[in-house]
Structure 1
Amino acid sequence: MLTDAQCKAAKARGKAYKLSDAHGLRLDVSKTGHRSWRHKYRYGGKEKLRTLGTFPEVTLKQARDICKADKQLLKEGKDPITEAKRAVLAHRLAAKDTFEILARDWYAKEQPRWKPVHAADVIESLERDIFDDLGSLPVMSIDSTIVLATLQKVEARGAIETAHRLRQRISSIYDFGIAKGRAITNPAASLVKVLRAKPPSRRWPAVTKIGKAREVLAITDGAEATPVVKLGSRFLALTSQRPGMVRWMRWDEIEDFDPEGVRPNDGAIWTVPAQKMKQEIGLREDGAFDHPVPLSSAAVDVLRQAWLFSAGSEYVFCGQHSIVKPMSENALSYLYLREGLRKLQVPHGWRASFSTIMNEWVIENGGPRDPLILDLMLAHIPIGISPSELRYMRAGFLERRRKLATIWAEMLLDGACPVEAIGQGRRRRSI
């Protein structure tokens, strides 16, 4: 082992040489006489060499203490070089670069490529489940145990899939931080197998008989909810579009519509812009297309009622507390949950209800089977039709689509309360 005297006596010899101590610690002397401490060790099956500082600024005792600390890190499965970089960066950033700051920077970068529904879900999930625990912590101070403890809180309330989504988002945030030089390691990357396994996927519940569909509609029409939410639910049932599309529906997307009813509304059509369709169903830019939704008179009646509540908003179904925002992302889901419909019907389930019941109806009534038309009404790409072909036919069959929408509305609303009454009745019903 080295002594202080040997270290002080180490001078230039015309070529570089090394003086070994113990446990991989050595003093390297350059041909010019510069002396620096090095620690050689193995990590991940590879030999690594860490520079600890120069002599005499770092004494023999200090070098041995650093080497001892490195050995402890290796026992804990940590790379001393990585941990040293982390410490330097953490010291430089201190508390200025917290996890929440990094997360919001990541969100600002990613948001433009997401559909609005997904973007809102991402930031709301971080604000609800992550920022309270991790938000104020410096980015470099967070390790896997801290992230795991936070995610296990989400698991504890039974939200297993949410915990996995949050892990993915935290991991993406740290990947962004590493690329920007604001983080060194990704503490969430290794947790995918530590979290509880995701439950098997399941199909969303949906009624497939017209009688049950009418009962579901009667329950949501008479529920204890704001008129806008209940009108949104009826419009969703009548048009069978995706809940996110209905939630973000804007008045300027509706053509040939007179909210006062002075002129006929029998040609009203809601056209969902191509950009929204690209975001909603993941189409490439070159495959995106406008999605026209011919509206039945019953759907128009819903819009006329919605106008009474949201005429000053750009959104048809505006928020309860602010007309500058659409109704909340979970408004419809919570409505169905509160009314005990979760195992029977969810908002998205109206699409399956419409497709199943209408396909059966056209067969039973001897009409031409219309799988292509029904797919177009649901904004599906029909089997055997390429996106390029769909670009030329996307606005086709509008009258047939309007006729089927009218038939569906008449079937569904048979015995339903008048649309003007929605929001007045407070009585709950059950199936």
Structure 2
Amino acid sequence: MLTDAKVKTLKPQDKVYRLLDAERLYIEVRPTGKKIWRFKYTVDGKEGTISFGEYPAVTLQEARKLKDEARAKLAQGLNPSTEKKKEKLERRIKASNTFKAIAEEYAAEQMKHKSADYVERFRSCMEMDVYKEIGSMPIKEITSAHIFSIMKNTVQRISNSPRFGTGEAAANLNRRFIGLVMRYAIITSRLDNDPTYALRSVISQPEVEHARPLNPQERKALREKFKSYNGSTTVRNAGLAMLYSMLRTVEIRKLEWSYIDFDAKTITLPRSSRQAQQERVMKRNRTHVVPMSTQLHNLLLKQKIVSGDQIYVFPSPQKRNCMLSRTTLNRMLEYMGLSTVTAHDFRATASTLLNEHGYDEKWIEAQLAHADDNKTRASYNHAKYLADRRKMMQDWANMVDSW
């Protein structure tokens, strides 16, 4: 019988040679220096051999254990080599049916027409909260309890960082994203039931804080903070452009230079964005024309120097030709010390003050791009009110600068 010390000292020769251990287990020494454990067996009157791996990765003791397992299979009339192949295939199938493998497949196959922002949110949720708990698990073994644990841990993680809220929304977003993967596994015949179904109302979200008009003190502070802001020029300009234009945050983030006509002093938001052909920029899938005030016109001319060679007017400071992240403008306000103010409040402030100053409600609604159920009338009114809105938007910009 072999000893570990003897196996360790075996030297390669010009030709392959073999040394027997016991019960047909032997080690094969190759001219390259590799030492391979092999076991010779007979099943159904035919001889065969099976490899147990290379020494020293597989020790003498481990090789003997594998030999005993192979002999046990032979006693049951099973071929060790055939069984090894089956086990290898089962491991491969099991690896391909882990939650992470199916989630990555889902992202590649089912998110082709989603916006880059949406895909990034999905991947971020997976990496931050989901994969570390269930990523390596076979999807069939994942229960509602596993997912509930992820949701509770998400709430805890975010609760420990007060600037990001209480975490209920993020926990429910994780549940929805996990549910998308689970239902994809069902339709691809790898799962029978969706374990997220039982968790639909397990964590209640706090009531949504709707946009509100800023009070006089907040308006004054906001305008002063913009003047002294020493962060990214692009982020500052994006915030001011949103304030002057009454556009939504997503519209500012997706604004492209191709939408801007400096001669006509207009911004024309098309039916769909270059970033995501299937994702609508405007509600009701309508083109929206925004007249520019002198202040907005001048601001965009200055921004042209900063990012005129990129697709987006206000691109990410970190990634060329990528949009600002969803949270950037609100993070800017927090950095300014205005943690109670959100970018969505800009539109509510403009609507409230313009109504208070007696501007026609139809002009304000058109500027806010609020949908009209009658598409023909909506298009007509959009064009009809353009001159009126131009005057209103110049007055609005002057009002902002007066704060």
Q: TM-score normalized by structure 1?
A: 0.65
Deviation readout 1:174-210 (Å, 9 max, x if unpaired): 11210111222212211224x332222332344054x
Provide the residue aligned with 2:58 in structure 1: none
Distance 1:303 1:239 in 2: 11
List alignment gaps of at least 5 residues for structure 2.
1-88, 160-165
Structure 2 residue 95 is the aligned partner of structure 1 residue 107: no
2:328 pairs, out of 303, 309, 331, with 331
In structure 1, the residue corresponding to 2:272 is in which secondary structure?
Answer: helix
State TM-score, norm by structure 2.
Answer: 0.69
Q: 1:175: which partner in 2?
A: 183
Q: Which residue of 1 aligns with 2:306?
A: 309
After superposition, the Cα gap between the structure-2 partners of 1:185 and 1:108, relative to the gap in structure 1 and judged at 3 Å, is same
Deviations 1:89-127 (A, max 9, x none): 986721123323322333345545655554443333333
CA distance in 2, matches of 1:275, 1:254: 15
1:353 is aligned to: 349
My pick for the range that moved more, 333-342 or 385-394, is 385-394
Aligned to 1:391: 379
- Residue of structure 1 in register with 2:248 after alignment: 242
Could you tell me how far 1:313 is from its partner in structure 2?
A: 0.7
Q: Distance in 2 between matches of 1:282 and 1:108?
A: 26
Contact 1:243 1:347 in 2 (8 A): yes
Counterpart for residue 363 of structure 2: 373
Tell me the equivalent position of 2:210.
Answer: 203
Q: CA deviation at 1:278?
A: 8.4
**Structure 1 counterpart of 2:234, from 211, 228, 238:** 228
Q: Is residue 2:199 matched to residue 1:191?
A: yes
Q: Partners of 2:112 and 2:370 in 1: how far apart?
A: 24
Q: Secondary structure at the match of 1:293?
A: strand
Alignment-derived partner of residue 316 in structure 2 = 319
Instruction: Label 1:110 to 1:218 Cα distance change in 2 as closer, same or farther (>3 A).
Output: farther
> Which residue is 2:146 aligned to?
146
- For each residue in 1:231-274, what CA deviation from the matched residue of structure 2 results, as whole angstroms up to 9, or x when unmatched? 1000010011100110111001112x2xxxxxxx4x21111111
Task: Tell me how far 1:281 sits from its aligned partner.
Answer: 6.9
Change (3 A) 1:239 1:111: farther
For the structure 1 residues 282 and 108, does the alpha-carbon distance in structure 2 shift closer, same or farther, using more than 3 Å as the test?
farther
Q: For the Cα contact (< 8 Å) 1:217–1:234, is it kept in 2?
A: no
Q: 1:309 to 1:203 in 2, by over 3 A?
A: same
Give a deviation string over 1:203-236, Cα, whole Å, max 9, x none: 2344054x63242122134234211101100001
394-403 or 369-378, which moves further after superposition?
394-403
Contact 1:208 1:357 in 2 (8 A): no
Q: Cα–Cα, structure 1 residues 293 and 278, in superposed 2: closer, same or farther, change >3 Å?
A: farther
* Residue in 2 that maps onto 1:134: 134
Query: Retained in 2: the 8 A contact 1:231–1:306?
Result: yes
- Unaligned runs of 5+ residues in structure 1 are 1-88, 258-264, 363-368, 416-431
Q: 1:161 to 1:248 in 2, by over 3 A?
A: same
CA contact (8 A) 2:113 2:278 kept: no
Instruction: Quote the Cα distance in structure 2 between the aligned partners of 1:268 and 1:90.
Output: 65
Answer whether contact 1:278 1:288 (CA < 8 A) is retained: no
- Can you list the C-alpha shifts for 1:317-363, whole angstroms capped at 9, x where unaligned? 111122221222211111112323232x210111000000111112x
The letter of the residue matching 1:322 is K
Of the structure 1 ranges 148-157 and 97-106, higher mean CA displacement relative to structure 2 is found in: 97-106
SS in 2 for 1:326: coil
Aligned equivalents of 2:132, 2:282: Cα separation in 1: 32
Work out whether residues 234 and 306 of structure 2, in 8 Å CA contact, stay in contact via their aligned partners in 1: yes
Cα RMSD between the aligned structures?
2.6
* Inter-CA distance 300–278: structure 2 relative to 1 (3 Å threshold): farther
CA distance in 2, matches of 1:111, 1:395: 36
Higher relative contact order (CA 8 A, sep 6+): 1
Question: 1: CA distance between counterparts of 2:203 and 2:148?
Answer: 11
